[in-house]
Amino acid sequence: MSEQFTRTELYDLVWANPMSRIAARFGMSDVALKKHCARALIPVPPRGHWAKLLAGKRTFRPKLPDRPAGMDEIAIGARHYPYARWSESEILGPLPDPPTFD
């Protein structure tokens, strides 16, 4: 099952905990989670960020950039198929009329 996040929620989550810990929660690798963040233009902590925090050193947290067009929510976790909610008749039924433009 997947979970839906806004970009801000996911940004706050990846800056609050190590990627490996968050990724394990969703049953994926930290690399896969980082790819989700990259597609949504969400900056993630660099390597060594958590070690620097433990050592008491200062770290830099970049601001969340403006969202890409149409990027409101991100589905993380099990594979997300937008057609999974469609009925069999909608999937196998006739195609809709093509759009017409003036």
Q: What is the pLDDT of residues 7-59, one digit of tens each?
A: 999 999 999 999 999 988 888 899 999 998 998 899 999 999 999 999 999 99
Distance CA 44, CA 65 (A): 12
pTM beyond 0.85, yes or no: no
Q: How far apart are the first and last CA of the chain?
A: 43
Q: Which residues contact 22 (CB under 8 A, 6 or more apart)?
A: 13, 14, 30, 33
Q: DSSP letters along 59-73, please?
A: ---PPPPPPPTT--E
Q: How confident is the model at residue 74 (pLDDT cuts 50, 70, 90)?
A: confident
Question: What is the pLDDT at residue 62?
Answer: 93
Signed CA dihedral, 10, 12, 13, 17: sign only: positive
Over residues 75-100, the pLDDT tens digits come to: 887 554 555 566 777 778 888 888 89
Q: How many CB atoms lie within 10 A of CB 27?
A: 11
CA dihedral 1, 44, 6, 64 (to 10 degrees): -170
